[in-house]
Structure 1
Amino acid sequence: MRVLIVPFPWKTHVFNLVPLAWSLQTAGHEVRVAGWPDLLDAVTGAGLTALGVGPGETPEVRRQRDRRQTSDRAAAARRSPQEGLDPLFDIRPDRRRLSWEQASRVFDDLVLPQARRSNDSMMDDLVAVARAWRPDLVLWGAKAFAGAVAAAAVGAAHARVLYSVDVYTRLREDFLHAKALQPPERRVDALRDWLAGWAGKYGVEFSEDLVNGQFTIAPLPEAFRPDAWPTTLPVQFVPYNGPAVVPRWLAEPPRAPRVLMTFGDSVNDGPVRLLLPVERIQEILDSVADLEMELVLALPPDSRRELREVPANTRLVESVPLSEVLPTCSAMVHHGGTWSFGCALRYGVPQLLIGRAFDAPLKFRCLDRAGAGLAMTPAEVDGPAVRAALVRLLQDASLRANARRLRDEVLAMPAPNELARTLEDLVAGHRAGPAPALR
């Protein structure tokens, strides 16, 4: 069959889809990956066939726009603070749903603006590509809604591929539940209206499949799937680091328990954005300088030069392939990114998450329920707090045991090769005739 893969337009999201793309390709299927032009090198660098869709801009223009969008998202987050969304991050079975005002605010301030910025500019190109190539299956990264619209336009089966805990499906359910309780004149659904507008342009009627996919592929173990969706297909998280060289120091066993600490994104073009200022990182280093461990701290060169002092128990590196270093680690401190989080789970490493992303509170609570790590917000971070957390990660036998249990659960999940066979069986039941072209 023909499989079109549509990542959310960011390099880390391309990497997230590479193992599944290769599993389908090695199973004999034709695979193409459609993305913004500045992502095509990441696709072809992984040995996959790329299709350019969307804005033909340089990476520098893209970075400038992303900086503006980051500022916009920060402003939106201030208007829609996470502390007011406790029901969304509650993992108890009897959790209270979000109110109409809460759910509407999140969609209007956070979800829809980002969805439009990331999808509008590639929608026409992607539908044209799909109509020309006629895929049987479209796999689209979470929030890459253009993939769902393109699939519907050609009658292809389609699935949403998650990269984290599925906070958006429960958000949508809360929204629809609250919407049904409103008087007709108040039932405004901006996400539906946006998707329905695009779908109607290509002769497609809106359905909730355009929001959540006909089914969902989830790369996290059951502890990180707080809601039991019947259309979820679990798949084992398999890391793809991109081009990487194993550092020579990894050939030697660690002198003491090894801890990896990373606070920035090392696989996107452009300057690394650190979660914490260098001054705070220096405070952490000072506080843990006497601990019996080998701390591997990944920092970009400019940040390394700003450090006042590097303790004897610390090794500074610019970046490391996580799949190579984590099997040698006893603990990990990181910013909660997809790759850091998934690799820590896969290799059974107790972890300290320090994050502020929208899905961070839900991820934190699932990790706490699993008993395999600790979490704090950036505002809670100082030297003594991180030191206390590190001591516990290294000494608490229950944290280590639970991390190993999660590792075993990850490895027991279907590998991408197995999922490829499942997808073959599902496609026939979900395919439909193409939508009629509008005149």
Structure 2
Amino acid sequence: MKILFASAPGYGLTLPLIPVVWAARAAGHEVLLATTAEIAEVSARAGLPVADVFPGRDIWTDLLATVKDGAAPDPDEPEEYRLARRHQGPFGLFTAAMTAGTIEAGRAFGADLVVYPSDHGAGPLAAAALGAPALEVGNRISWSARDTSWRTEHNDFLGGELVALMREKLGIGDAPPNVIARIDPRAPSMGGLRADEEHVDERDGAPWWPMQFVPYNGGSVLPEWVLRKPDRPRVAVTLGTVVPAMTGVSSLKVVLDALGGMDVEVVLAAGTADLSELGEFPENVRSVGYLPLSVFLPGCSAIVHHGGSGTTAAPLFYGVPQLVLPSFADNPMSAERVVERGVGLSHDPSTVDVATVRKLVSRLLEEESFRRAAEEVLREMRGQPSPAEVVARAVAVLR
């Protein structure tokens, strides 16, 4: 079977999909990932065949300019771009820019199935255009199979003025995609489905299936210290990839000053962000640049982060308590789920101070309830169907 995977060009949007692509390839299916910008190369380094569906222009840079700077409209840009900026926010830009190329790649590939994450509008449009069945994969810890209100609150990827224009411009017609199932990778106690549970989507009758979240953050040659058990509690600190690009790294100053005064080993994973404004780090801080979380999280006792969906889900896979200082987008919703489940704590980053960070991290390290709750969620996740099982289930439906 030829399976086209379509995803938007963001780390947090594409990386959760890669274990599913691997599962399909390992089962003997031909796969192709349709994406663009920096993520095209990132995905290729993950061993995947990739089609760059919007070459020649960096849509991720366009997105950052729109959200961060309120970039003035280009009078020569296509109408769908203007509609996307006006009505559908950042994800609309991906729909406007990537749909035509995704359809073209899928047609040339001869796709028998189209798989896409829940927030990528080019996926269902491509499936409809190709007349191929679709499999939608949820990729956010804060969104539940049972609550689809986020679609109207954030983006309606199947309707609206932009989608209507894209359908007309590309000759797709009015037919909806044939969604054979939607995948929920959340633990049951965090809004997801039990391994033996199935939920029917009220919009179109498609079933929701549970799936174990498997973190993928890239590969790495392991530093020697990673495999050693730390002499004192190891605490991870990260802001992901979007927050530094949008708001800078100044919020790290309070966190590092707080942890610098504690008897812990700190691993700061800040990617390629410029950290010069932070000055000299405390002696117990190890700055590692871009080191995949999955490389060193197993040895951590806690993590402090911004609330990105993938960054929230990865510690759950390893049973690590977390402190969330939520930034924007769905970050506050991720923080709410962490606190509600008892796997961590949260605080408004705009009002947090050194004493508060120390108090909250100390609680995570000393109060056994957070570790117990995180380990309970870990056991739930390990009991859910693997990506390989879900791919096999989808293929069986189509045969």
Q: Give yes or no for TM over 0.5.
A: yes
Partner of 2:161: 193
Candidates 420, 423, 433, aligned match of 2:394? 423
Determine whether 1:204 maps to 2:173: yes
Determine whether 1:237 maps to 2:213: yes
Distance 2:84 2:97 in 1: 19
Shift of 1:248: 1.2
Candidates 62, 65, 79, aligned match of 1:65? 62
The residue type paired with residue 32 of structure 2 is: R
Determine whether 1:298 maps to 2:248: no
Candidates 311, 332, 357, aligned match of 2:303? 332
Distance 1:311 1:129 in 2: 49
Partner of 1:179: none
Change in 2 beyond 3 A, CA 1:281/1:122? closer
Partner of 1:403: 374
Determine whether 1:387 maps to 2:358: yes
Change in 2 beyond 3 A, CA 1:30/1:115? same
State how many pairs are aligned. Answer: 375
Change in 2 beyond 3 A, CA 1:380/1:144? same
The residue type paired with residue 306 of structure 1 is: E
- What SS does the aligned partner of 1:41 have? helix
Aligned residues of 1:8 and 1:142 also touching (Cα < 8 A): no
Determine whether 1:119 maps to 2:98: no
Partner of 1:215: 181
Partner of 1:152: 128
Change in 2 beyond 3 A, CA 1:273/1:221? same
Q: Which moved more, 1:29-38 or 1:401-410?
A: 29-38
Aligned residues of 1:246 and 1:321 also touching (Cα < 8 A): no
- What SS does the aligned partner of 2:245 have? coil
Distance 2:101 2:273 in 1: 39
TM-score by length of 2: 0.83
Shift of 1:149: 1.2
The residue type paired with residue 217 of structure 1 is: I
Determine whether 1:171 maps to 2:140: no
Whose relative contact order is higher, 1 or 2, with alpha carbons under 8 Å and at least 6 apart?
Answer: 1
- What SS does the aligned partner of 2:148 have? helix
TM-score by length of 1: 0.76
Aligned residues of 2:184 and 2:192 also touching (Cα < 8 A): no
Distance 2:130 2:109 in 1: 10
Aligned residues of 2:186 and 2:213 also touching (Cα < 8 A): yes
Partner of 1:25: 25
Percent of aligned positions that are identical: 30
Aligned residues of 2:67 and 2:90 also touching (Cα < 8 A): no
Aligned residues of 2:128 and 2:175 also touching (Cα < 8 A): no
Aligned residues of 2:102 and 2:122 also touching (Cα < 8 A): yes
Shift of 1:419: 0.9
Distance 1:274 1:388 in 2: 28
Determine whether 1:316 maps to 2:282: no
Q: Deviations over 1:273-327 (max 9, x none)?
A: 376643x433333333332221222345774443344333332322322112111
The residue type paired with residue 65 of structure 1 is: D
Distance 2:11 2:372 in 1: 33
Aligned residues of 2:118 and 2:139 also touching (Cα < 8 A): yes
The residue type paired with residue 18 of structure 1 is: I
Q: Deviations over 1:86-105 (max 9, x none)?
A: xxxxxxxxxxxxxxxxxxxx
Shift of 1:74: 11
The residue type paired with residue 53 of structure 2 is: V
Partner of 1:9: 9
Distance 1:253 1:118 in 2: 43
The residue type paired with residue 29 of structure 2 is: H
- What SS does the aligned partner of 1:169 have? coil
Aligned residues of 2:114 and 2:132 also touching (Cα < 8 A): yes
Partner of 1:92: none
Change in 2 beyond 3 A, CA 1:426/1:202? farther
Distance 1:33 1:345 in 2: 27
Aligned residues of 1:224 and 1:363 also touching (Cα < 8 A): no
- What SS does the aligned partner of 1:379 have? coil
Unaligned 5+ runs, structure 2: 73-82, 201-206
- What SS does the aligned partner of 1:194 have? helix
Q: Which moved more, 1:193-202 or 1:107-116?
A: 107-116
Aligned-CA RMSD value? 3.3
Q: Deviations over 1:104-129 (max 9, x none)?
A: xxx99887132331121222222233
- What SS does the aligned partner of 2:263 have? coil
The residue type paired with residue 20 of structure 2 is: L
Distance 1:375 1:126 in 2: 39
Aligned residues of 1:226 and 1:366 also touching (Cα < 8 A): no
Change in 2 beyond 3 A, CA 1:362/1:337? closer
Determine whether 1:249 maps to 2:225: yes
Partner of 1:347: 318
Distance 1:39 1:295 in 2: 28
Aligned residues of 2:136 and 2:182 also touching (Cα < 8 A): yes
Distance 1:139 1:175 in 2: 21
Distance 2:310 2:87 in 1: 22
Q: Deviations over 1:327-356 (max 9, x none)?
A: 111111011223321210000000011122
The residue type paired with residue 143 of structure 2 is: D
The residue type paired with residue 26 of structure 1 is: A
Shift of 1:399: 0.8
Partner of 1:94: none
Aligned residues of 1:160 and 1:216 also touching (Cα < 8 A): yes
Change in 2 beyond 3 A, CA 1:113/1:173? closer
- What SS does the aligned partner of 1:237 have? coil
Determine whether 1:371 maps to 2:342: yes
- What SS does the aligned partner of 1:380 have? coil
